[in-house]
């Protein structure tokens, strides 16, 4: 039966530096606090408890070093196997993260491997919901004894289920320093689409102790490689989410376009404000997609250089077979799928931007026309009112010359008697009445002239043609 000797677990968690370090709304997630929380977790295993009647699997732990960037500890597993570990902060380019390292001395057979990994899992701090998280990768390694046919793959499946709690969906294999490499992950609906968070695991089964000790020298290389891989996957996922969001927002604006010519003036102004907001968001998002495209290009360049560096270094330090095609396949997928998809998304979204810009111009023109019609209505009213008042004033000012002869007219006199208008008010009543009649007639004549000599206008919203 296959034996796994000195199992080692490495967890690399990557974050956007500005999100994690500078996020004042989540002070509990800042690096130093995570290290402090981790030391508190270790504290429950403090002290030598080997004398207890029912010792726990993780029997003893002691913090040997603690500062703002790292925690180191050591202890015992099952009272006999020594365990060593550390948690360190690190920065890589504009990214930030934590690296957890756990190693156990000893030989583990069959189910003992899963039990050992279960204990290691209890020491991993909770970091699933940290802000600005890019992704993470688990790496498990060790050297194997007495491997029989297909036992390596059986062991790999057991390791993945023990750490991820689900079976893998996709697998790649390779060779590194003479050992077998397994890469597992989960994604849906396709092999390289929407990879599940925290599902990526790499297992290296070295052929002997010397190969494993040599492999430990590649720790920084793997950490950088997985950082670039997770950054690419994050950037691609962000671009797809932005694209879907932009299409939904445009579809909402499409409903507005259909009823655009049947809106009241106040509704048009609101539509213009909404369009300006949508256009601003659309420009912001399409620029973000372009930024994600540049991030994929840059990190792909770093990823390929890292693969070349690992391959060259492995070939120089250990003259055994190395097959890293599974790492190179990821580069090919990024070029053939991710980069092409973002280019297509960017090209397909540009016409939407043009439509929104044209829509803004259309709404602005309709608003200006409606505003002009409103202003014109007011000016027409002012003109008619001024004309009527002016004519009435002229008639009233000339009343002394015609009001007395008019009052002596038999018809007017009879009318005044019938209405029982007091004598002191007769002159005023006649002057006021005739002035009002003259003013109304003047308004009527002026409105006819305006309608005749001025161009037609769209009077109501129903008159607008789409």
pLDDT score for 423? 57
Instruction: Give me the mean pLDDT over the 201-213 stretch.
Output: 93
Residue 465 region, left (φ>0) first, then alpha (ψ -120 to 50), else beta? beta
Ordered DSSP codes for 274-303: HHHHHHHHHHHHHHHHHHHHHHHHHHHHHH
User: ∠186-128-331 over CA atoms, to 5°?
Assistant: 40
Written as six digits, the tokens of 303 are 């990823």
- DSSP 3-state of 12: strand
Q: Is the pTM of this model over 0.85?
A: no
pLDDT score for 133? 84
More confident: 436 or 216:
216
Model confidence over 332-345: pLDDT tens digits? 999 999 999 999 98
Asked whether residue 222 carries a pLDDT value surpassing 60, the answer given is: yes
Q: What residues have CB less than 8 Å from 202, skipping those under 6 apart?
A: 137, 138, 139, 140, 181, 182, 183, 184, 222, 226
pLDDT score for 177? 93
233-253 in b/e burial notation, b at 16+ Cβ within 10 A? bbbbbebbebbeebeebbeeb
More confident: 408 or 99:
99
Contact (CB, 8 A) for 352 and 242: no
Contact (CB, 8 A) for 326 and 225: no
Please give the Cα distance from 444 to 441 (Å, whole number).
5
pLDDT score for 429? 65
Asked whether residue 47 carries a pLDDT value surpassing 90, the answer given is: no
Question: What is the overall mean pLDDT for the chain?
Answer: 78
Question: For residue 326, which of 218, 197, 203, 210 has the smallest C-alpha distance?
Answer: 203
Question: For residue 286, which of 337, 351, 332 has the smallest C-alpha distance?
Answer: 351
Written as six digits, the tokens of 438 are 């003259």
More confident: 43 or 56:
43
Which letter does DSSP use for residue 195 in this model? Answer: B
Asked whether residue 434 carries a pLDDT value surpassing 70, the answer given is: no
Model confidence over 89-117: pLDDT tens digits? 888 888 888 899 999 999 998 788 888 88
Residue labelled with tokens 């970091």: 127
Model confidence over 246-305: pLDDT tens digits? 888 777 776 666 665 565 656 666 666 666 677 777 788 888 899 999 999 999 999 999
Straight-line distance from the first to the last Cα atom of the chain, in angstroms, rounded to the nearest whole number: 79
Please give the Cα distance from 328 to 325 (Å, whole number).
5
Residues making up the chain, counted from first to last = 466
Q: Count of alpha carbons within 13 Å of 194, Cβ hemisphere only?
A: 5
pLDDT grade, residue 212 (50/70/90)?
A: very high
Q: CB atoms < 10 A from the CB of 187, how many?
A: 16
Q: What is the dihedral of CA 146, 150, 155, 158, to 10 degrees?
A: -160
- What are the contacts of 444-453 at 24+ separation with CB within 8 A? 446/383, 446/384, 446/387, 446/388, 447/380, 447/384, 450/380, 450/383, 450/384
Instruction: Give me the mean pLDDT over the 180-204 stretch.
Output: 86
Written as six digits, the tokens of 260 are 């655009």
Asked whether residue 44 carries a pLDDT value surpassing 90, the answer given is: no
- DSSP 3-state of 129: coil
pLDDT grade, residue 454 (50/70/90)?
A: low
């Amino acid at each position: 039966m296959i034996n796994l000797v000195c199992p080692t677990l490495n967890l690399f968690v990557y974050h956007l530096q500005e999100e994690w370090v500078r996020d004042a709304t989540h002070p509990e997630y800042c690096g130093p606090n995570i290290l402090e929380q981790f030391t508190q977790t270790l504290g429950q295993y403090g002290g030598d408890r080997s004398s207890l009647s029912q010792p726990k699997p993780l029997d003893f732990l002691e913090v040997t070093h603690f500062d703002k960037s790292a925690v180191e500890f050591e202890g015992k597993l099952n009272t006999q196997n020594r365990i060593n570990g550390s948690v360190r902060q690190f920065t890589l380019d504009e990214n930030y993260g934590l690296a957890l390292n756990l190693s156990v001395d000893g030989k583990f057979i069959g189910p003992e491997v899963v039990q050992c990994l279960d204990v290691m899992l209890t020491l991993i701090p909770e970091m699933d919901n940290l802000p600005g998280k890019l992704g993470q990768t688990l790496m498990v390694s060790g050297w194997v004894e007495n491997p029989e046919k297909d036992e390596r793959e059986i062991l790999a499946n057991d390791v993945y289920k023990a750490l991820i709690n689900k079976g893998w969906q996709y697998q790649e294999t390779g060779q590194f320093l003479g050992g077998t490499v397994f890469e597992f992950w989960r994604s849906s609906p396709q092999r390289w689409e929407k990879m599940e968070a925290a599902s990526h695991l790499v297992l290296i089964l070295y052929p002997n102790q010397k190969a494993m000790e040599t492999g430990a020298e590649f720790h920084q290389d793997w950490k950088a490689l997985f950082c670039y891989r997770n950054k690419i996957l994050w950037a691609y996922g962000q671009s797809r989410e932005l694209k879907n969001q932009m299409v939904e927002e445009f579809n909402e604006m499409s409903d507005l376009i259909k009823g655009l010519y049947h809106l009241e003036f106040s509704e048009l102004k609101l539509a213009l404000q909404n369009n300006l907001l949508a256009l601003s968001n659309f420009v912001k998002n399409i620029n973000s997609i372009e930024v994600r495209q540049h991030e994929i290009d840059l990190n792909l360049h770093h990823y390929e250089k890292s693969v070349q560096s690992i391959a060259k270094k492995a070939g120089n330090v250990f003259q055994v077979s190395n097959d890293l095609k599974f790492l190179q396949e990821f580069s090919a997928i990024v070029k053939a799928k991710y980069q092409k998809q973002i280019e297509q998304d960017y090209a397909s979204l540009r016409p939407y931007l043009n439509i929104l810009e044209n829509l803004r111009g259309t709404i602005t023109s309709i608003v200006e026309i409606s505003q002009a019609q409103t202003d014109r209505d007011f000016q027409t009213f002012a003109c008619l009112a001024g004309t009527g008042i002016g004519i009435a004033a002229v008639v009233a000012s000339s009343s002394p010359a015609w009001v007395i002869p008019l009052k002596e007219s038999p018809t007017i006199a009879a009318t005044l008697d019938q209405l029982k208008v007091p004598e002191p008010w007769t002159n005023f009543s006649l002057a006021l009445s005739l002035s009002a009649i003259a003013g109304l007639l003047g308004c009527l004549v002026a409105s006819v002239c305006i309608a005749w000599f001025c161009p037609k206008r769209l009077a109501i919203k129903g008159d607008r043609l789409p």
